[in-house]
A = this chain, B = another copy of it.
């Protein structure tokens, strides 16, 4: 192991919190390098959910009995934690959804269906995950708005200088971008994009699915109007996502999902919507999932987001350095100081599926595919890449095993 900078968290020690590492794969310890797809779970989070089910479970809101009160409290405590996590002004601006994808669809449908029309421009980036691309493309299509894409430069960074040219004489109404790219790890200048969007009278929608788990995110500092993330990528459970939105926008918006709990009065003639956040939370909430999310936020908060970011930065520097030893490897994306803990690469003459499979035989889990970023793949001129992604439990030895496995794949198949 060649990393010399002192890590500000002790990943070896933290691994003990994650039961998944107790098993071995093909007789080898698990090197889980696919945290960008979904993170593993600490015992503390799992226990919080089980405890909730065992002691405090009932349907939330409006129940008069104690169990229902306890469950409501637990759900609302999770909302408060999510609110503080992203420095949101008010907890009622925090809406629980099923995942980041649904959060982004909520904005596209509920804001877009009513506010977009011919002549309007919806701008996404060439770097977007499909979840912040396809909903806008679809709603733009339904409303007659024009759907456009801000291109990338050769280094995988947004061509902010192209903003004016891409929008042209259209009326920019939505600018949608991720804060951190799940394919390249690029950290985007959302604050600058938000400022530009607001100058043009557009709303700024930030997909922070790859950011919130890995660094301190502050919606006020970013200046965005909406921000989405998922629980499962930040040590929380599957089945829950978050949408934050500015209260005045959420209040002016139509609702999205309709049904139980999101109404005030229902009559045949007319229905009136409940107040925030309930207006956007139809049906039974992901209650245990919210409790798990809250526990995960506590867990990460104790470790510290600065320590996590620093740790991943060291790993990514180390990985880029190690890969530069291999002439057959093509790396994609910006330099370490402008990227998060994600490394996408290809191996000359070896298909990513084969690389990933050979690595799996070594107990190293990486992803091979288009990473839900087909427009980016088109730009890169490839069908797929290999992607290794890191988290607080990643140790440099795992990167060594990754590099060793890539060497083997090249030798065997290249």
Contact residues of A with B, CB < 8 Å? 19-20, 22-23, 25, 30, 32, 34, 37-38, 40-41, 46, 49-50, 53-55, 57-59, 62-68, 97-102, 104-105, 108-109, 129-135, 137-138, 147-149, 230, 232, 237-241, 255, 257-263, 265-268, 271, 282-289, 353, 356-357, 359-360, 364-369, 372, 374-375, 378
Contact = CB atoms under 8 A, between A and B. Distances in A.
B286 A64 contact: no
B66 A259 contact: no
A359 B53 CA distance: 22
A59 B34 contact: yes
Given A37-B58, A149-B268, A260-B372, 8 more contacts: A30-B67, A38-B58, A41-B54, A41-B57, A62-B367, A133-B259, A137-B268, A259-B372
Most chain B CB within 10 A, of A49, A66, A130, A353, is at: A130
Contacts of A100: 283
B102 A285 contact: no
Given A50-B50, A101-B282, A268-B375, A360 B55 contact: no
Contacts of A284: 38, 99, 101, 230, 232, 238
Given A137-B271, A263-B130, A366 B65 contact: yes
A407 to B, nearest CB: 18
Nearest to A354: B64
A364 B66 CA distance: 10
B232 A65 contact: no
Nearest to A373: B266
B34 A131 contact: no
A259 B101 contact: yes
24 contacts: A19-B54, A20-B55, A20-B57, A20-B67, A23-B55, A37-B68, A38-B57, A38-B284, A40-B57, A50-B50, A59-B232, A67-B365, A101-B282, A102-B257, A105-B258, A129-B260, A131-B283, A134-B271, A138-B255, A138-B258, A230-B284, A238-B285, A267-B374, A267-B378
A390 to B, nearest CB: 15
Contacts of A260: 101, 129-131, 372
A293 B212 CA distance: 29
B64 A360 contact: yes
Contacts of A98: 97-98, 102, 239, 283, 286
Contact of A20 (B54, B101, B266): B54
B46 A50 contact: yes
A230 B365 CA distance: 33
A389 B32 CA distance: 46
Contacts of A138: 255, 258, 271
Contacts of A38: 57-59, 284
Nearest to A97: B98
B135 A258 contact: yes
Contacts of A55: 19-20, 23
B34 A65 contact: yes
Given A131-B283, A268-B149, A365 B259 contact: no
Closest 10 CB pairs between A and B? A101-B283, A131-B259, A239-B239, A239-B286, A101-B259, A37-B59, A19-B54, A65-B365, A38-B59, A64-B356
Contact of A34 (B40, B63, B262, B375): B63
